[in-house]
Amino acid sequence: MEVGDLVSAGMKSEIRVGNSLNLKDIPVGTVVHNVEMKPKKGGQIARAAGTYVQILGRDSGYVQLKLSSGEIRMLRGECRATIGVVSNPDHKNKLI
């Protein structure tokens, strides 16, 4: 994202970085973050620096997600997610 970019949330939002949509409305293969585990509960997955989730597919109202750890989860299509990766992908490579 750049300074001045507009972000939106809702069913009619464009598929652009920073926009928030229901998982069922996001194309397969898209990388997302801040994913809800239950509808209306708020984002719980992929919120830390450098984390993301990839949408693998859909089946009977559920969406299949691949977490950055390699785990695969099925969540309801009504759960929301924000398109894009949380900034600072090199956070895990930081020297202590």
| Band of pLDDT at residue 58, cut at 50, 70 and 90 | very high
Q: What is the mean pLDDT of residues 73-96?
A: 81
| CA distance linking residue 73 with residue 58, whole number of Å | 11
pLDDT, tens only, 2-55: 677 666 676 777 788 888 999 999 999 999 999 999 999 999 999 888 789 999
Domain 20-88 has CATH 2.30.30.30: yes
Name the burial class of residue 15, with classes exposed (0-12), middle (13-18) and buried (19+) by CB atoms within 10 angstroms of its CB: exposed
Per-residue model confidence (pLDDT) at position 2: 63
Q: Domain locations in the chain?
A: 20-88
